Structure 1
Amino acid sequence: MTTPSLQNAIEQAGSPIRLLWQPNAEPWLPEVVDREYAGWRQEQTAWHQGVALLNLSHHMYDMWIEGPDATRVLADHGVNNFEKFAIGQAKQYVPVTRHGHIVTDGILAREGENKYLLSGIPAAQHWVQYHAEKGGYDVGFATDPSSAFRPGGGDPKLFRYQIQGPLATELVERAFGGPLPETKFFHSSAVTLDGRPLRALRHGMAGQAGFEFIGPWEHAAYVHEAFLKVGEPLGLVQVGALAYATPSVESGWIPSPVPGIYTDPDLLEYRRYLPLFGIEGKRPLNGSYYSEDIEDYYVSPYELGYGKMISFNHDFVGRDALLKAKDEPLRTKVTLVLDPDDVRSVIGGGEDPGFVLTYARHRVEGAAGPVGVTMQSASIDPVGTVLTQALIDPEHTATGTEVTVVWGEHPGAGTDPGADLGFPRIRATVQPSPFNEHARTLYRHNR
């Protein structure tokens, strides 16, 4: 039996939107991690005020890219600067279509002169592998899917543990018997823990200080237990799936933007190459913002705040489109701080709404009508309300601007996209993105 492709599913549904639109869709949560350990509120507080342990081992899709043309294929299909990419360094890899729409981002680590590891949701990986095979690049691939999709089950090849929060450095020094080698942001150093080889990636969630430790799965249990033991006197808190999905709202990273791949005739073959049961065909759309045209959901890397990552010192797919877009008025990424009273009234029915997490696209309105769309919303207990990452028109981006978020679920096809439908409004105030001051001012200082 032939596995259905993304293109098969689009044709059967009638359009990309009819395939993806799912009102009240459940939000994604990382696999094989308990929903809560100490409670989502305490877990969020830990990386703000203490120290937290996050397990990233199971939800990352890893693809190793190795061969003489490894750098060339990545540079040809990504906006990043590859002239300054040291072995041991990682970058947020940003591939775009020929029209300058983002495919998605991923974390790209250079492991050798001709070897890279691309990690994250498997959309950038699909893009690179397809074009490498089609273009005849001299490069090979090895993959390790996330635990929920690994054929035959089994363990991942790598563990990934993050130690985050103001006490992260103290915990790490206790675990390793002293300071780690001085490492720039998003660079890694080879270290050992009781003789077990690891890589320590200088990294942080929501702007907090921290490290990500990566190593072979055979050492996962030992390293995890070692961190728990040395962290106990410091009040180390393990972070569950609920809280884990929220720091991106503070750090300004918008996960899983809609790939700009569904309509270009030149990508018909690519859509036939992609399986339906992948991120491109199964990541749902929902919310009060609705359009029958999937292109209304496409985004530019400039809108996501990736402009500084774009390097025009080489030719790449989408280069001309991004050069043109550079001078066009585009939406701006901001943080919306939702009014706590409105949150309790609209979401909680007058009570504490508890944990809120949604990737819904809700309409954002100004005094004269629509001005933007939300991308992710989540409860941030230390802030005391729900924060939203949104893309809004430039004239409404000034800090302190008051807008409203239309909170509801458009039913989809058959109903006027602009229908009001009686959805409630939540007042919100525009703030910068990233919301967290450390993330906004110091997070990338040494990148």
Structure 2
Amino acid sequence: MPTPSLQDGINQAGSPINLLWQPDAEPWTPEVVEREYAGWRQEQAAWHDGVALLNLSHHMYDMWIEGPDATRVLADHGVNNFEKFAIGQAKQYVPVTRHGHIVTDGILAREGENKYLLSGIPAAQHWVQYHAAKGGYDVGFATDASSAFRPGGGTPRLFRYQIQGPLAAELVEKTFGVPLPETKFFHSAPVTLDGRTFHALRHGMAGQAGFEFIGPWEHAAYVHEAFLKAGEPLGLIQVGALAYTTPSVESGWIPSPVPAIYSDPDLLEYRKYLPLFGIEGKRPLNGSYFSADIEDYYVSPFELGYGKLIHFGHDFVGRDALLKAKNGPLRNKVTLVLNPDDVRTVIGGGEDPGFVLSYARHRVENGSVLVGVTMQSASIDPVGTVLAQTLIDAEHAVPGTEVTVVWGEHPGLGTGPEADLGFPRIRATVQPSPFNEHARTLYRREH
């Protein structure tokens, strides 16, 4: 029996929304790592006030792209500037459809003249691999799935450990015995620890100082233990799966936007190529915002804050559409600071709700008028409330603007999108995105 495709799933469900809409869907958290080590509150505090260790080894897909046409296939299907892309540098890779909507993003590292590593959720990898085969590019691929989906189990090819927080540089120097080489943001340098060679990528997740160490899995346990030992006198805290999901809410990165691939007739063959039981068929939609039209969930890279990454100096899929959209009416990315009293009342039933994590699309209203939609919401203990990364109409994006978030789960088809379902409202205040000041200033300038 053939493996069902994404298009098979859409056909059987009757529409993309029927396939994806799942009220009360459990939010994703990383696989394999413990949910909490010291407690999510202490773990969040560690990257604000001390130093934190995050294990990124298990939940991302890696795809190596190598061959004479490696740069060409990536440039033809991504908005990025490949004329300025040094070996050892990483970029946020942004592929878009012909209509200028994002497929999803990923982290692309250049490992050689004709070799790249694309990491993240596999939607961008699927897009590149499909178009490489369809376009006859001279390029090969090697893929390592996440630990939850690796065929036959086994171990990852790479370890990834991130060190971040105000004491990150001190911990790294204690571990290696010397300061790391001066490295630009999102560039990597080779490092050696007791004869074991791997790479250090200058990186941070919540606007704090940080490094990401990447190397062969055979060195994983040794490197991990070395960080723990060196970090003990500094109060190093390991970050579990719950807290791991939250730095993006502070740093302004919106994870897993809906891939804009479900409705274009020209992408029918692509939907037949994709497996139903993959990220495109199984990442659920839910929340108080509902539309029967999947295109209402598509987003522009401009809305996600990726405008500076778009290099119009080369031809790529979606270029003409992005040129038209550049000066058009687009939503702004903001951070909503939810009223802590309302959070306790609505989410906690009058008590502290504890850890809150939601990828639901919740309605954001001014009065009773829809003005935006949340993309990810999470408790940020150092802030004392829930923050929500949100796309909102430009006229309501001014910091200090008061809005309300409709907190609930629309049942889906059969009930009108604007139906009054009696959902409670949470007052919220618009603030910039990224919310973290360092991420908004120094971090962004370095990038």
Category of TM-score, reference length = shorter chain: over 0.9
Question: In 2, Cα distance between the equivalents of 1:346 and 1:329?
Answer: 33
1:433 is aligned to 433
Question: How far off its partner does 1:420 sit?
Answer: 1.6
Report the number of matched residues. Answer: 447
Q: How do 1:8-19 residues align onto structure 2 when only pairs under 5 Å count?
A: 8-19=8-19
Tell me the secondary structure at the aligned position of residue 130 of structure 1.
Answer: helix
- What is the percent sequence identity of the aligned residues? 87
2:4 is aligned to 4
Q: How do 1:142-181 residues align onto structure 2 when only pairs under 5 Å count?
A: 142-181=142-181
Runs (5+) with no aligned partner, structure 1? none
Q: How do 1:396-407 residues align onto structure 2 when only pairs under 5 Å count?
A: 396-407=396-407
Is residue 2:323 matched to residue 1:327?
no
Question: In 1, Cα distance between the equivalents of 2:117 and 2:394?
Answer: 36
Question: In 1, Cα distance between the equivalents of 2:200 and 2:219?
Answer: 14
Q: Is the 8 A contact 1:336 1:389 kept in 2?
A: yes
Question: In 1, Cα distance between the equivalents of 2:178 and 2:36?
Answer: 31
Q: How do 1:345-384 residues align onto structure 2 when only pairs under 5 Å count?
A: 345-367=345-367, 369-384=369-384
Deviations 1:329-363 (A, max 9, x none): 10000000000000000000000000000000000
Q: Is the 8 A contact 1:6 1:274 kept in 2?
A: yes
Question: In 2, Cα distance between the equivalents of 1:34 and 1:374?
Answer: 27
The letter for the 2-side match of 1:7 is Q
Q: Is the 8 A contact 1:185 1:444 kept in 2?
A: no
Tell me the secondary structure at the aligned position of residue 10 of structure 2.
Answer: helix
Question: In 1, Cα distance between the equivalents of 2:361 and 2:203?
Answer: 29
Question: How far off its partner does 1:368 sit?
Answer: 5.3
Question: In 2, Cα distance between the equivalents of 1:24 and 1:232?
Answer: 40
Q: Is the 8 A contact 1:192 1:198 kept in 2?
A: yes
1:61 is aligned to 61
Q: How do 1:40-55 residues align onto structure 2 when only pairs under 5 Å count?
A: 40-55=40-55
Runs (5+) with no aligned partner, structure 2? none
The letter for the 2-side match of 1:28 is W
Provide runs of 4+ in structure 1 moved above 3 Å. none
Question: In 1, Cα distance between the equivalents of 2:399 and 2:16?
Answer: 35
Question: In 2, Cα distance between the equivalents of 1:180 and 1:392?
Answer: 41
Q: TM-score normalised to the size of structure 2?
A: 1.00
Q: How do 1:291-330 residues align onto structure 2 when only pairs under 5 Å count?
A: 291-330=291-330
The letter for the 2-side match of 1:421 is L
Question: In 2, Cα distance between the equivalents of 1:345 and 1:443?
Answer: 35
Deviations 1:29-80 (A, max 9, x none): 0010000000000000000000000000000100000000000000000000
Tell me the secondary structure at the aligned position of residue 322 of structure 2.
Answer: helix
Question: In 2, Cα distance between the equivalents of 1:235 and 1:205?
Answer: 19
2:122 is aligned to 122
1:235 is aligned to 235
Tell me the secondary structure at the aligned position of residue 417 of structure 2.
Answer: coil
Q: Is the 8 A contact 1:246 1:379 kept in 2?
A: yes
Question: How far off its partner does 1:178 sit?
Answer: 1.2
Comparing 364-373 with 212-221, greater Cα deviation is found at: 364-373
Deviations 1:264-315 (A, max 9, x none): 0000000000000111000000000000000000000000000000000100
Question: How far off its partner does 1:131 sit?
Answer: 0.1
Question: How far off its partner does 1:367 sit?
Answer: 2.7
The letter for the 2-side match of 1:280 is E
Is residue 2:140 matched to residue 1:137?
no
Is residue 2:195 matched to residue 1:210?
no
2:394 is aligned to 394
Deviations 1:111-158 (A, max 9, x none): 000000000000000000000000000000000000000000000000
Question: In 1, Cα distance between the equivalents of 2:391 and 2:282?
Answer: 23
Tell me the secondary structure at the aligned position of residue 109 of structure 2.
Answer: strand
1:343 is aligned to 343
1:421 is aligned to 421
The letter for the 2-side match of 1:158 is L
Deviations 1:82-135 (A, max 9, x none): 000000000000000000000000000000000000000000000000000000
Question: In 2, Cα distance between the equivalents of 1:65 and 1:437?
Answer: 36
Question: In 1, Cα distance between the equivalents of 2:63 and 2:258?
Answer: 21
Is residue 2:94 matched to residue 1:90?
no
CA RMSD, aligned part only?
A: 0.5
Deviations 1:393-437 (A, max 9, x none): 000010000000000000011111111200000000000000000
The letter for the 2-side match of 1:62 is D
Question: In 2, Cα distance between the equivalents of 1:444 and 1:377?
Answer: 22
Question: In 1, Cα distance between the equivalents of 2:52 and 2:197?
Answer: 22
